[in-house]
Chain A
């Protein structure tokens, strides 16, 4: 035990030595508290139970491993056809020139690096708060490190139905960029926002997003993590839902050496709904691929509904990881919790490691989970081909059919269609 603790501290010391921690203005206290938290925890190692399937060493190393720049020339800019407000971050630094003016009816938007210089800001009540709460019962040191060290991010407060979606566009232009971004989103009672995120944020990327949805608020989130092969990312979404709130998040991940997406959701008010979904596509023949979805949903109120729908398509030695938990606290009666994690192995040498968990302390609840891993259905493939559909196209149709439940978690049909087009593009490029 002592050896593990020592390894954690060694990793942290090396990491901190390579970082210049911003002093912070309104976030100063939160940053100091986060630093103390991570100092108590150290950084994760392979020997941590929570990192058993995913080696965190390249995420915790003092410097980012260089990542080749990737130009998705063959793809139209994602969501460009949507009427939306874009905020561009280049290697983790907000680019006002490339962004739209930060004006949107029903929404206040500020840049973290700027707001932090003010004396007073609404984000003070949120920055680091949900992250800190999310450290229990499982430690998430990379998120605490993020709160202490984040250099930029978007602070978004929504007071009504947002006139348009907000789109965070990430661009990766430096081969060695090591990005730490921290976003805060506050949805006031009854307000409504769709948040889009696209692109690889840097060579290495540590991102935290805290989302506080007040009573009756609605938050839709759709994220496309890029196609670059060398990407390494650790992301956390911390969400807190008040009574009647709705939270829906979908992530599409293609390629990437290492991606760990954590979602930590606290259903704190009655009748709240939280859905988290993801589709990940990995082809080991273009480079190593590991994708890890780690989800922790706490039902702390009555009649909550949660759904976790995670699908992975793996080929040529790709690895998929899923760790998902539903925790139902003693008072959370009439909870409806559902979790499914599935992988489709397109050949024999891939692996899918899944750890689904239910922990239930209330007696009147409905909770289920399932995890499957399997190959394409030969009979279905033959049926399609017997109708004249070429082999690769038939495989594509079956892969899309496998992903359908996850894609269905996206409510907006235009966005859904765009995600399907991205999936089709990937499948067409990764035949055979």
Chain B
């Protein structure tokens, strides 16, 4: 279970406050969606949860199954079961996608005291998961995300998620840049991972993704806070009327 309480975050280098008291609890097995205007702090929250440098938590807490996420190094958070599918996946020239995936899988296993996966088992697993996401052998061989199209990068994020089998998956605008077919592929990939022990936080601007990945709870974030929480109908309302009414209501 992910529990965020009264989370306040500012930029380390400037006096700019971005998150102003976020409260959010995500139970195992549920899918939550976050929508909200550009610049409201959605990506910042996902970065802070996964441990990126440059932010300062001035108040509040974030725990995963009771463990203090904010006290851990990014790799420890990953080993604890947190995964962030990046809004802008990073290109790493010179590191092969396969090497990257295998290193990641084995690092997490090692951190949990499990034995490394054998080269054969790993290969089989990657091929199987890549196939369902229509990621071809060439993409696996290439350096991480280098020369990938926008949609290919997003599919590659989901492949990593499928390989790492995290408990808490945050998807930051995984639908942006995807064509209709790719959206279906990615959604199927996510849905295949849904189970009682795994939760999702899906950040998106569009209802379309939520047609495929059906959320249990929808939140609206604005100006660094979650200002409204509801069921799937809340996303439909945003799609129809935008944020103006909701923002006005809160004010």
Tell me whether A and B are bound partners. Answer: yes
**Interface residues of A, Cβ cutoff 8 Å to B:** 378-380, 382-391, 393-394, 397-398, 400-405
Partner of B90, one of A380, A397, A400: A380
Cα of A393 to Cα of B52 in the assembled complex, Å: 17
Cβ-closest chain A residue relative to B108: A388
A398 CB contacts on chain B under 8 angstroms: 92, 95
Which of A382, A387, A391, A405 makes the CB contact (< 8 A) with B104? A387
How many cross-chain pairs have Cβ atoms below 8 Å apart between A and B? Answer: 78
Chain A residue contacts of B104, Cβ below 8 A: 384, 387-389
Q: Tell me whether A388 and B94 are in contact in the complex, defined as CB-CB below 8 angstroms, given that A382-B52, A401-B143 are known contacts.
A: no
Q: A393-B107, A400-B95 are in contact. Are A384 and B100 (CB under 8 A)?
A: yes
Closest to A385 in B: B74
Q: Are A388's CB and B79's CB within 8 A?
A: yes
- B interface residue numbers (CB < 8 A to A): 50-53, 73-75, 77-79, 83-84, 86, 89-95, 99-100, 103-105, 107-108, 111, 143, 160, 164
Given contacts A382-B53, A383-B86, A389-B107, contact A401 B78 (CB under 8 A): no
B95 touches A383 (CB 8 A): no
Do A388 and B164 touch (CB < 8 A)?
yes
With A400-B94, A401-B93 given, is the CB distance from A386 to B78 under 8 Å? yes
Judge whether B94 and A401 touch: CB under 8 Å.
yes
Q: Which 5 A-B pairs have CB atoms at the shortest separation, nearest pair first?
A: A401-B94, A404-B94, A388-B78, A388-B108, A385-B74
Are B103 and A380 in contact, CB atoms less than 8 angstroms apart?
no
A401 touches B107 (CB 8 A): no
Chain A residues positioned under 8 Å from B160 (CB to CB): 387
Cα separation A393 to B103 with both chains bound (whole Å): 9
CB pair A388 B75 closer than 8 Å = yes
Distance (Å) between the CB of A401 and the closest chain B CB?
3
Asked if A383 contacts B90 (CB within 8 A), the reply is yes
**Structural contact, A401 and B95, CB atoms closer than 8 A:** yes
Instruction: Report how far A73 CA is from B91 CA in the complex, Å.
Output: 37
Q: Are A385 and B78 in contact (CB under 8 A)?
A: yes
A401 and B53 contact, CB distance less than 8 A: no
Residue of A nearest to B109 (CB): A388
Q: Are A389 and B103 in contact (CB under 8 A)?
A: yes
Most-contacted residue by chain B among A387, A388, A405 (CB, 10 A): A388
Residues from chain A with a CB closer than 8 A to the CB of B84 are 386
Show 26 residue pairs from A and B whose CB-CB distance is below 8 angstroms, ordered by the A residue: A379-B90, A380-B92, A382-B51, A382-B74, A383-B90, A383-B92, A384-B100, A385-B51, A385-B73, A385-B74, A385-B75, A386-B51, A386-B52, A387-B104, A388-B79, A388-B108, A389-B104, A389-B107, A390-B111, A391-B73, A391-B75, A393-B103, A400-B95, A402-B94, A403-B94, A404-B94
Taken together as a complex, chains A and B put the C-alpha atoms of A119 and B218 apart, in Å, by 92
Which one, B86, B90, B107, contacts A388 given CB within 8 A? B107
Instruction: List A contacts of B103 (CB < 8 A).
Output: 384, 389, 393, 397
* Set of chain A residues within 8 Å of B92, measured between Cβ atoms: 380, 383-384, 397-398, 401
Shortest Cβ gap from B114 to chain A (Å): 12
Residue of B nearest to A404 (CB): B94
Of the listed residues B78, B99, B111, B164, the one surrounded by the most CB atoms of chain A closer than 10 A to its CB is B78
Which chain A residue has the least Cβ–Cβ distance from B104? Answer: A387
